[in-house]
Amino acid sequence: MLCYNEGVEQILKSRYRTAEKISETPFSLTYRGVFIGTEKPVIIKIYKRGTLNSTLINHMKRRVREFSLLTHHGLAKLLDGDYGWQGFYYVREFVEGMSLADLLKKEGKIDAERATVIIDQILSVLEEVHARGIVHGALKPTNIFIDQQGIIKLTDFIIEGEVKETLPLKVQEIMANAQYATPEEAAGCPATVSSDLYVLGLIFFEMVSGKLLFPEGGLKVSLRKLRPAMLLNPEELSFLPRYLAEIIAKALQRDPLIRFSSATEFRESLRRKGVAKKGVENEEYLRILESLIPSYIEEVKTESEAVEKLGRLRWSKEKHRNWLLAVILAVAVLVGILYAFLLGR
């Protein structure tokens, strides 16, 4: 694996220059950087050699191009991505502002109304990216920024293909991010749309309560998420309006099928101030159908009776007509007999 010297500037593509290191994971290093010439600030993420194979690198190049086409105002713009001697890297917009993590550190907690506005803005971004088949996969307060205009910007999406190839690295990643990992990820499954919504529920809880739902972290919290017991004690949300407590509780369901099915459903619940019911239109349709069925049955019954009555009437007419024919025939026979009798005389 390449040894990185934090004190040495690196030039990427003759366009970007790294500055101080911001963070490091088992797989990557993140730096502040600048455009060479303009000195415009950027963020540069470099993946360590040995964590990606050539197939993944090529796949990630394609995904970076796709990400660069996203234009939602709530996304930190992805500017570039390529493979160099340093390893695979990408460059994104530098957001002037404060991370949600820093805001929580400064204020302790955020009132429910303001927290709801922040969550709604995040859901607006997730609506856009989820519709394009993109999952964030790494939501946490350090990846959520509030710029100087108060606009929420999401950063550091997990680029599809960012697969950790060795078990020790996977374990390190799970341990490092256990507080914001989903039950399915703790079980070894990939992140999904539902995973993003679950983590957003964790962040929502943290904002309004001023504490982590899983403060213990590490292996202990990962194992807790795998147990069948309830993840959230309802009493922990008793200080909130009931509708908000129900929304957070739904987002934090262990089973992805019971959570919100989409960012849109989550947003709609916030707007309505109540958990939006799945299939509301279908339920309404069923209620209408149920009200129509008795009248329809009555109508069919009435029509059946009318048909039966008509049948009886027709049968009666047919019967009456046949009787008349029989009488006429009998009279004709009698007339014929009488005529023959008289003629014989």
The answer to whether 175 and 225 are in contact (CB under 8 A) is: no
Give dist(CA 172, CA 165) in Å, integer: 12
Average per-residue pLDDT for the chain? 78
Class of domain 97-278: mainly alpha
> Which position has the higher pLDDT, 168 or 248?
248
Whether this model's pTM surpasses 0.95: no
The reported pLDDT for the residue numbered 171 is 57
* For the chain, domain boundaries: 1-94, 97-278
The reported pLDDT for the residue numbered 164 is 47
The reported pLDDT for the residue numbered 201 is 96
Label residue 108 by pLDDT band (50, 70, 90). Answer: very high
140-168 in b/e form (b: 16+ CB < 10 A) is: bbbbbbbeeeeebbbbbbebbbbbbeeee
The answer to whether 122 and 144 are in contact (CB under 8 A) is: yes
Residue 213 scores a pLDDT above 80: yes
Write out pLDDT tens, residues 76-97: 999 998 888 778 899 999 999 9
Label residue 339 by pLDDT band (50, 70, 90). Answer: very low
Q: Which of 64-78, 150-164, 202-216, 290-304 has the lowest mean pLDDT?
A: 290-304
Write out pLDDT tens, residues 282-307: 444 344 334 443 443 454 455 455 54
Class of domain 1-94: alpha beta
Most confident range (mean pLDDT) of 4-13, 49-58, 122-131, 160-169 is 122-131
User: What tokens does 167 get?
Assistant: 């078990």
Residue 278 scores a pLDDT above 80: no
Give dist(CA 165, CA 49) in Å, integer: 12
The reported pLDDT for the residue numbered 80 is 92
Residue 199 scores a pLDDT above 90: yes
